[in-house]
Amino acid sequence: MNYFSSEFKLGILGGGQLGKMLLAETRKFDIQTYVLDPSKEAPSQFGANHFFIGDLMDFDTVYDFGKKVDLLTIEIENVNLDALDKLEADGLKVFPSPKTLRLIQNKGNQKDFYVANNIPTSPHQRFKNIQNLKSKIQLPCVWKAARFGYDGNGVKILKQAADLELLPDVECLIEELVPFKNELAVIVARSASGEVKTYPVVEMEFHPEANQVEYVICPARIDEKVAQKATEIALKVSEAFNHVGLLAVEMFQTHDDEILVNEVAPRPHNSGHYSIEASYTSQFENHLRAILNLPLGNTESKVAGIMVNLVGAEGYSGNVIYENIEKIMAIDGVTPHIYGKRETRPFRKMGHVTIVNEDMNEARRIAEEVKNTIRVISEIK
């Protein structure tokens, strides 16, 4: 297959910001891109050669879309897997494979998989519905919807009995609450032929209420030994999944420097956005190289990189305004990425800003300045 010819057709399921950034990298190659997304306002609509509107969970829609392309990838895990199975059986290359996606789509299956593969993770119990759960758990603990959660919206920390009353009646799991001192992530790139490279360990800081990442810091400011352990565990997870493409492995660093795997994403990930400006090869380019079975690019960083998520400010909904964006752009090493979502809502991911600097302390200082300066608001409160 010639990946350097405009005859080659790459399909992407999902047209959000990850797709938009992936599409930008496809322009380094000479290939045609096809995107499927349910929204006519999807951030990827203008970056793709061909944009289709349709339900990613509908068998026929996904199958028919797959029939148009030479290779299929995803930027969101919640897609119709039966359609992907059939496409794969028909001979289409689908990366990540439906088998990998099936293990990941259900958080209960994902946790069982870690246990079966001797991958350190917090203890868990699975429940088919809320009734069974109530009599069997010890507080505090963490409740997670087995399916369709994202950005923390399917996750609740349960502290008192009253917290249980607010839970939806869906398949779920309960995890031991990990009192971690750090959240870390490692992105592993793995090509179809088995070449593997890891990005440096990054450290994440979360917004206390929204449960969304506020800063991603690369490299993580942790002990070399801990970084090594996290990288080894990420590689073990990657080997167990035998995935093709990227695998972002999210982990907890406990107070006694144990590493526990939280969850994975088989695609470019928020924790790797810094790589567009800070790395020799961005995560998006390496995802493409991996699925196209080309040599992987250098995953090392050129400079310290910090990413600040741009999320909608509380109290504002409607047509978005990026207040003070010019001010932050006047600072050296600051690059905003605007995803192109027309409407802001509290905590909605609207973009991100990358800060690069030779000096990590200076990068961290600027990141805070950026965060305190730019605001994602709307005309009317």
**Residues within window 191-230 making contact with ligand ADP, judged by CB under 6 A:** 206, 211
Exactly one of 24, 76, 155, 321 binds ligand ADP (CB under 6 A); that residue is 155
Our finding on whether 183 is near ligand ADP (CB under 6 A) is: yes
Exactly one of 262, 275, 279, 301 binds ligand ADP (CB under 6 A); that residue is 262
| Minimal distance, residue 201 CB to ligand ADP, in Å | 15
Q: Which is nearer to ligand ADP, 33 or 262 (CB)?
A: 262
Q: Quick one: which segment of 73-81, 148-156, 277-285, 349-357 binds ligand ADP (CB under 6 A)? A: 148-156
Exactly one of 38, 54, 120, 152 binds ligand ADP (CB under 6 A); that residue is 152
Pair of tokens at residue 331: 């600072």
3-state secondary structure at position 197:
strand
| Minimal distance, residue 334 CB to ligand ADP, in Å | 26
In this structure, what is the dihedral angle of CA atoms 217, 219, 220, 222, given to the nearest 10 degrees?
-150
- Which candidate, 262, 255, 199, places its Cα nearest to that of 226? 255
**Residues within window 72-131 making contact with ligand ADP, judged by CB under 6 A:** 122
Our finding on whether 167 is near ligand ADP (CB under 6 A) is: no
Q: Read off the DSSP letter of residue 272.
A: G
Exactly one of 53, 57, 130, 142 binds ligand ADP (CB under 6 A); that residue is 142
The answer for residues whose C-beta is within 8 angstroms of residue 215's C-beta and 6 or more apart is 204, 205, 306, 307, 308, 367, 371
Q: Which is nearer to ligand ADP, 190 or 349 (CB)?
A: 349
Pair of tokens at residue 234: 């990420």
Helices (H), 156-200: 161-165
Element (DSSP H or E) covering residue 378: strand 375-378
Distance CA(348)–CA(313), nearest Å, equals 8
Angle 252-81-287 from CA coordinates, rounded to 5°? 55
| Minimal distance, residue 230 CB to ligand ADP, in Å | 15
Instruction: Determine what percent of the chain falls in helix, strand and coil, rounding each to the nearest 5.
Output: 30, 30, 40
Our finding on whether 37 is near ligand ADP (CB under 6 A) is: no
Distance CA(351)–CA(367), nearest Å, equals 15
Size of the site for ligand ADP (CB under 6 A): 18
Q: Would you tell me which residues interact with ligand ADP (CB under 6 A)?
A: 122, 142, 144, 149-152, 154-155, 175, 177-178, 183, 206, 211, 250, 262-263
